[in-house]
Amino acid sequence: MNELVTGEAVALELRPARLPSRALAILLDLVVAFVVYLVVSVALLAATASLDEAAQIALSIATFLLVLVGGPIAVETLSQGRSLGKAACGLRVVRDDGGPIRFRHALVRGAIGVVEILLTIGVVACIASLVSARGRRLGDVFAGTLVVRERVPAVRSGFVPPPPPWLAGRFQELDLSSVPDGLWLAVRQYLGRMHQLDPQVGWSMAQRLADDLAARTGAPVPQGAPPAAFLAAVVQERQVREARRAFAGGSSGQPDPYRPPTAWGPPSPYGSPPPPPSPSPSSYAVPAVSASPVPSEAAPVRDAGDRAPGTGFVPPA
């Protein structure tokens, strides 16, 4: 699968259309265009029977240009790259960066298509598509466009990584009601594909999303926390609340099984939370087997910089 790279270094998994599907789409478009051309020509011939031969020839040329050249240009412009044949075959014309085409792209494709498709019966277009690595004809090369497949096999969406343990459950009191759905979608898309981004571009994108999310919620990014980790922690908190509402776990008075454990003591943005206090001997103690207790080793304290590699929350070098 070929990847198109946008201006923000985001890799788009778009599959270029191959020659057989493109040829079938063009054939369907030509059949429809020629049927329309014949109907319009017969109607004009009946309406202009009293005109001289020169006027009828001029009308025939104008009808040819209007229907077989201007028609496909207008259809691709209005449908943003989906003609009747392409819609039937599941194809679409897009720009090289994956965006929708405009009138100038359709105009260049249609003007060059007169030569490489109509006048040469598609021979030039077939040769150019076979030579091109992405199956582009000359009209696509000069217009800066590409025909891609819209009907691709379903793939699993990008995995949204969980937040670091030292941020889990820290935003339980955060007000998320003012965050729009579009911002949630942008955050989830970034977290699912942040490993595919350039490190510098990904870091700046995470910073912008974190600033926007902090402005909507009124809670600043914790000191020392990477912006991607802040986004992951807030997304996890939203998922926890949605699960609690769906299963009615928050109104029954029972412990919420979807809530991440809360750290004992104030959470620290630079390291793991302190260990929990020892249980009371009166309520949880087990009769001692030996009179001499076995000394326990002190648990090492992790620093905020000792995060697991490959989490995507490490700032770019």
Among 204, 234, 203, smallest CA distance to 217 is for 234
If one compares 56 and 158, the residue with the highest pLDDT of the two is 56
- 260 in Cβ contact with 167 (< 8 Å): no
If one compares 6 and 100, the residue with the highest pLDDT of the two is 100
Give the pLDDT confidence of 70-79 residue by residue, as tens digits. 999 999 999 9
Tell whether the model's pLDDT for residue 67 goes beyond 60. yes
Tell whether the model's pLDDT for residue 59 goes beyond 60. yes
Confidence of residue 316 (pLDDT cuts 50, 70, 90): low
For position 76, what pLDDT does the model report?
A: 92
Cα-based distances in Å from 118 to 9, 26, 30, 121, 122: 38, 11, 9, 5, 7
Cα-based distances in Å from 280 to 67, 240, 264: 88, 31, 16
Q: Which amino acid is at 106?
A: A
Confidence of residue 295 (pLDDT cuts 50, 70, 90): very low
Other CB atoms within 10 Å distance of the CB of residue 210: 21
Tell me the Ramachandran region of residue 181: left when phi exceeds 0, alpha when psi lies from -120 to 50, beta otherwise. Answer: alpha
Confidence of residue 317 (pLDDT cuts 50, 70, 90): low
pTM: 0.48
Tell whether the model's pLDDT for residue 272 goes beyond 50. no
| Cα–Cα distance measured from residue 102 to residue 90, given in angstroms and rounded to the nearest whole number | 20
CA end-to-end span of the chain:
30
Tell whether the model's pLDDT for residue 293 goes beyond 60. no
If one compares 1 and 197, the residue with the highest pLDDT of the two is 197
Among 191, 239, 195, 226, smallest CA distance to 314 is for 226
Tell whether the model's pLDDT for residue 308 goes beyond 60. no
Cα angle at 200 between 195 and 201, to 5 degrees?
Answer: 75
